[in-house]
């Protein structure tokens, strides 16, 4: 990763921030996109030995995604890796959910990935680089009470899988990374049925994989040019296995698991 130019969206917290620290430790040059620029500035100070360009970016806005890519190329001349990490979650049954929540989650999680990929793709093809999407196990298994979130992550997986196939003979590497439940701020900012922020996570994050550990796995997968990364055994690999061979059983297990959350919308 020495001197590779890496764009990371959603870099101000959680997995995105951890990815920035991890790639910096491997000698990469960073282009960090996020809405909270004060957090990016703090990260720049922490990683003072790393060449970093921070760009205020709301990935749901196409022009801001274009600007992120253009500034990266203007500063460094090329792009080696794009990590589409920015995302938001939600917590409500579809029956009760304002459709504006669906639009907002899709705008950030899906269209944010589409916009950044669209403008970075010519440079990634030129460098035969890596295109990465950070989804979730919710992109392999429908999670009740997370309708918009699961839909957006399934959509990202389908989009990136198709981009991979379209560029099969052009040297582009595409990785779809699916962490299991990871300790992150994403649940605190999750949207409720009416679009307001949840504020506090209903889950105990102490036993979850840390964002730092997740970042190491993703960086290693980029280095090895893997096509898919599914993290954790029970919540990840075993869940996907059940979905392929015992889908009805997985439906019941998933329902029961999500219904156990405190104040769960799943009844």
Instruction: Compute, in degrees rounded to 10, the torsion defined by CA atoms 194, 182, 142, 100.
Output: 20
For 260, residues 6+ apart whose C-beta sits below 8 A from its C-beta are: none
Clarify whether 149 is annotated catalytic: yes
Q: Which alpha helices (H) appear in the chain, and where do they start and end? A: 14-25, 37-46, 62-76, 99-105, 112-127, 147-166, 211-223, 239-245, 247-259
**Nearest by Cα to 210 from 11, 18, 3, 37:** 18
**Using CA atoms, how far apart are residues 238 and 136, in angstroms rounded to an integer?**
14
- Which listed residue (111, 119, 123, 149) is catalytic? 149
**Using CA atoms, how far apart are residues 93 and 88, in angstroms rounded to an integer?**
16
**Using CA atoms, how far apart are residues 52 and 29, in angstroms rounded to an integer?**
6
Sign of CA dihedral 248, 191, 84, 203: negative
Q: Which residue has the tokens 């907002």?
A: 104
- What residues act catalytically? 149
């Amino acid at each position: 990763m020495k001197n590779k130019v890496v764009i990371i969206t959603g870099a101000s917290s959680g997995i995105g921030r951890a990815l920035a620290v991890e790639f910096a430790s491997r000698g990469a040059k960073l282009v960090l996109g996020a809405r909270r620029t004060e957090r990016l500035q703090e990260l720049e100070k922490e990683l003072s030995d790393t060449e970093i360009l921070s760009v205020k970016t709301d990935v749901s806005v196409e022009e801001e995604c274009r600007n992120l890519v253009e500034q990266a190329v203007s500063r460094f001349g090329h792009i080696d890796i794009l990590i589409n990490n920015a995302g938001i979650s939600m917590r409500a049954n579809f029956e009760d959910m304002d459709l504006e929540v669906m639009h907002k989650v899709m705008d950030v999680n899906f269209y944010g990935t589409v916009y950044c990929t669209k403008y970075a793709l010519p440079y990634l093809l030129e460098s035969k680089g890596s295109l990465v999407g950070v989804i979730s196990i919710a992109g392999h298994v429908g999670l009740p009470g997370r309708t918009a979130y699961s839909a957006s992550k399934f959509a990202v997986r389908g989009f990136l899988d198709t981009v991979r196939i379209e560029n099969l003979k052009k040297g582009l590497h595409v990785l779809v990374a699916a962490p299991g439940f990871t300790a992150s701020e994403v649940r605190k900012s999750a949207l409720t049925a009416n679009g307001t922020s949840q504020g506090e996570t209903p889950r105990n994050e102490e036993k979850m994989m840390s964002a730092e550990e997740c970042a190491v796995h993703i960086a290693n997968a980029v280095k090895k040019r893997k096509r898919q990364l599914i993290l954790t055994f029970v919540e990840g690999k075993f869940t996907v296995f059940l979905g392929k061979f015992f889908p009805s059983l997985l439906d019941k297990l998933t329902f029961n698991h999500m219904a156990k959350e405190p104040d769960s919308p799943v009844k």
